[in-house]
Structures are given as structure tokens and as C-alpha cells.
């Protein structure tokens, strides 16, 4: 830990305060997030990251600020790749627009915890076993090449092992119960005992969390390729994740237009991997790295806009009914449903 404990504590309190303000004030009531609202919040999160970067420059120096900026740019770009899968999951499970923010909010809480643990483990490994940086580098080059050549793969949530595990562990209601992840319902007839039952919204949350965990396997090594300071790694990750929700609602309708972004992300991963592999022989200055990353991502976005193609998310296959994710729990909205009490 290169920074004093109080700095970590202050940043953590800031994040908790922002999240509490978000959920308790601005999104206390579930509602569909409009493009205008998403655009405003995206501007807010980017501005906060920029202000934080200026603060780093004033207190830790220009080098640290450039490392934070590069890490933030890498994480934000790789987060966009998550959005494709999030759209598929929400479409497949027919999640109402007004419930999507709640899923993403709690998904981000879990992502912050998981990524914090992964960053801590990565920092310890690099500090004790310097050679692991070359393992990370080789992994990123391999991932980048694989992403570029494998093409777009169709993902079917129905065959996700996590979904099957959730169904085995807990029964799932036949329909959504507002914004609740669990509700109490009687099982086994009118005289049956009340049990806590998962709703399809909880299934969606679990899939979002596991998706982020899979993507973090790529993004965490990538950011260690730009900076070795755990504080800069974590803070850039946090700012990128905090802005992911508003970015989702802002880009959800147009994200399929960025069909060349995959190649830009692949090139970024490969570049960062090569940077790590050559770090002891030919270290690349952070300013050059930041410029290359920005050029690769910007070039892929511009190319997507200059050479458009038909939307590629229309083929998403969803269940005929949300009841397809349930396992026999009666729907209280139906006339013959059994009584229900309490929810959480």
C-alpha cells in the first residue's frame, strides 16, 4: 500500500456517500432512466473522475495523474464490452426498464468488493513475484488476439451454469415482484409454510455479477500494465464502474453501432500485454501509452461510425415468458395463486 491508510479511508467514504445519495435520493423510486438523465449522470461521473485526476496531479505528481487517466480510460473502455452482455441478459429475461437501474446498482456494489479483492491479490503477487507481470502480459496478448480473431459469439443465458446453480439452490417465482430480489410465499398448498423465494430479478443480478467477474479477469491485469500503484489501480477501477450504469442507459440503444470497438479493445489488450512483457527491456512512457490507448479506442469508434452496419442485437432470443426461469412457484398475480406476505 503506497498511500496512507487515511487516503484509502477517505476515498471509500466518498464512494459510499455517493452511492447512498444515488440510491436514497436520486433513484429512491424505481423508474425508467431516460437518455437525457443518463447523459447528465455520465457527464457527472466523468467530471468527478477528471477532478480526482487533477487532485492526484496536485498531490502525487503528473506521472501519477497520467497513470490514473490511462487506467481509467482502459477500464472504461473494457466496461463498454460488458454492456453488450448486460443488454443480452436484460433482453433475455425481459427486465422492465424501471428495474434495470436497481440491478446495475447492486451489481456495482458487488463489483467493487470483488475487484477490490482481486486488485489486492494482484498487487501482492506482483510485489512478491515480479515475474508474474510477464504472465499477465502474455495472458493479455493472448486474450487480445483471441478477441480479434474469434468473431462475435452468441451467448445463450439459458445454458449458463450459474443460472442452473441458482435454480438448484432456491426456487424462483414465475414473475417479477416489483423491485424485490426475494419474497415470502407459501409453498406446498394453502397450509404450507412461508419461505423466502428468489425472484427472476435476483437471477439477473447473479448473472450480471458473474459477467463482471469474468471481464475483471482481463481488466485487472490490463490496468496493472499501466500502473503498479494499488491506489491508482483501485480508484480508476471504481470511477469506471461507478459510471457504468449511466453509460449503459446512454448507449443501450446505439451500442450495436460500435461494431469495430471489439478490435480496438483487442488491440489495447495486446498493446498493454506487450508493454508488460517489454517493461524491463524497453519501458514505454506512460504519456505514450495513454496516447496509443486513446488512438486505438477512438479509431475503432470513428471507423464504426464511418462504416456502419445493420443492428446486430435483433437476433437476441428471449424466453416466450419470464416463467421460463421459474421452477413451479405459483404466481400471486394469477387468480388461483396462493397468498403471499412480506417482501424484501
pLDDT of 331 above 70: no
Average pLDDT for residues 213-222, to the nearest whole number? Answer: 82
- The pLDDT confidence band at residue 328, using thresholds 50, 70 and 90, is very low
Average pLDDT for residues 310-339, to the nearest whole number? Answer: 47
pLDDT of 21 above 60: yes
Candidate from 178-192, 247-261, 330-344 with smallest mean pLDDT: 330-344
Average pLDDT for residues 175-191, to the nearest whole number? Answer: 78
pLDDT of 269 above 70: yes
Given this model, what pLDDT does residue 235 score?
92
Given this model, what pLDDT does residue 111 score?
85
- Report which of residues 101 and 55 the model is more confident about: 55
Given this model, what pLDDT does residue 321 score?
52
Full DSSP string of 160-177: -HHHHHHHHHS-BBSS--
Where are the domains positioned within the chain? 34-167+206-335
- Residue 292 contacts by C-beta under 8 Å, 6 or more apart in sequence? 271
- The pLDDT confidence band at residue 239, using thresholds 50, 70 and 90, is very high
Given this model, what pLDDT does residue 330 score?
43
How far apart CA 287 and CA 298 sit, in angstroms, is 16
DSSP 329: B
How far apart CA 315 and CA 36 sit, in angstroms, is 27
Closest CA to 222 of 116, 75, 81: 75
pLDDT of 334 above 50: no
Given this model, what pLDDT does residue 102 score?
86
Average pLDDT for residues 11-32, to the nearest whole number? Answer: 76
How far apart CA 159 and CA 156 sit, in angstroms, is 6
- The grid coordinates listed for 101 are 437501474
- 264 neighbors 176 (Cβ within 8 angstroms): no
- Residue 82 contacts by C-beta under 8 Å, 6 or more apart in sequence? 211, 212, 215, 244
- The residue length of the chain stands at 344
- Report which of residues 153 and 113 the model is more confident about: 113
Q: What is the pTM of this model?
A: 0.77
Long-range contacts of 86-91 (CB under 8 A, 24+ apart): 86/208, 86/211, 86/248, 87/248, 87/252, 87/255, 87/313, 87/316, 88/155, 88/157, 88/313, 88/316, 89/157, 89/204, 89/207, 89/208, 89/211, 90/204, 91/313, 91/316, 91/318
- Report which of residues 137 and 335 the model is more confident about: 137
- The pLDDT confidence band at residue 310, using thresholds 50, 70 and 90, is low
What are the distances in angstroms from CA 193 to CA 49, 96, 338?
A: 50, 30, 11
The average confidence (pLDDT) of the chain is 80
Handedness of CA 31, 34, 36, 37 (dihedral sign): positive
Full DSSP string of 232-248: HHHHHHHHHHHTHHHHH
pLDDT of 251 above 90: no
Amino acid at each position: 500500500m503506497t498511500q496512507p491508510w487515511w487516503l484509502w479511508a477517505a476515498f471509500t467514504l466518498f464512494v459510499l456517500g455517493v452511492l447512498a445519495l444515488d440510491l436514497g435520493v436520486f433513484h429512491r423510486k424505481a423508474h425508467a432512466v431516460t437518455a437525457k438523465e443518463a447523459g447528465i449522470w455520465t457527464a457527472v461521473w466523468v467530471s468527478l473522475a477528471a477532478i480526482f485526476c487533477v487532485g492526484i496531479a496536485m498531490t502525487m505528481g503528473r506521472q501519477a495523474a497520467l497513470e490514473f487517466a490511462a487506467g481509467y480510460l482502459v477500464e472504461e473502455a473494457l466496461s463498454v464490452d460488458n454492456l453488450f452482455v448486460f443488454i443480452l441478459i436484460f433482453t433475455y429475461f425481459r427486465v422492465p426498464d424501471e428495474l434495470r437501474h436497481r440491478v446495475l446498482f447492486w451489481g456495482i456494489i458487488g463489483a467493487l468488493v470483488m475487484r477490490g479483492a482481486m486488485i489486492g491479490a494482484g498487487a501482492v503477487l506482483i510485489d512478491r513475484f515480479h515475474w508474474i507481470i510477464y504472465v499477465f502480459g502474455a495472458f493479455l496478448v493472448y486474450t487480445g488476439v483471441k478477441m480479434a480473431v474469434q468473431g462475435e459469439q452468441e451467448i445463450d443465458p439459458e445454458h449458463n451454469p450459474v443460472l442452473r446453480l441458482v435454480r438448484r439452490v432456491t426456487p424462483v417465482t414465475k414473475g417479477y415482484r416489483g423491485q424485490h430480489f426475494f419474497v415470502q410465499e407459501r409453498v406446498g398448498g394453502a397450509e404450507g409454510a412461508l419461505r423466502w423465494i428468489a425472484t427472476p430479478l435476483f437471477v439477473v443480478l447473479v448473472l450480471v455479477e458473474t459477467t463482471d467477474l469474468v471481464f475483471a479477469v482481463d481488466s485487472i491485469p490490463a490496468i496493472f500494465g499501466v500502473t503498479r500503484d494499488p491506489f491508482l489501480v483501485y480508484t480508476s477501477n471504481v470511477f469506471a464502474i461507478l459510471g457504468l450504469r449511466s453509460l449503459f442507459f446512454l448507449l443501450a440503444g446505439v451500442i450495436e453501432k460500435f461494431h469495430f470497438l471489439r478490435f480496438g479493445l483487442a488491440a489495447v489488450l495486446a498493446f498493454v500485454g506487450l508493454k508488460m512483457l517489454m517493461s524491463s527491456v524497453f519501458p514505454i512512457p506512460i504519456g505514450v501509452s495513454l496516447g496509443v490507448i486513446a488512438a486505438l479506442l477512438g479509431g475503432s469508434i470513428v471507423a464504426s461510425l464511418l462504416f456502419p452496419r445493420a443492428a446486430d442485437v435483433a437476433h437476441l432470443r428471449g424466453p416466450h415468458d419470464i416463467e421460463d426461469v421459474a421452477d413451479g412457484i405459483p404466481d400471486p398475480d394469477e387468480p388461483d395463486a396462493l397468498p403471499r406476505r412480506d417482501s424484501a
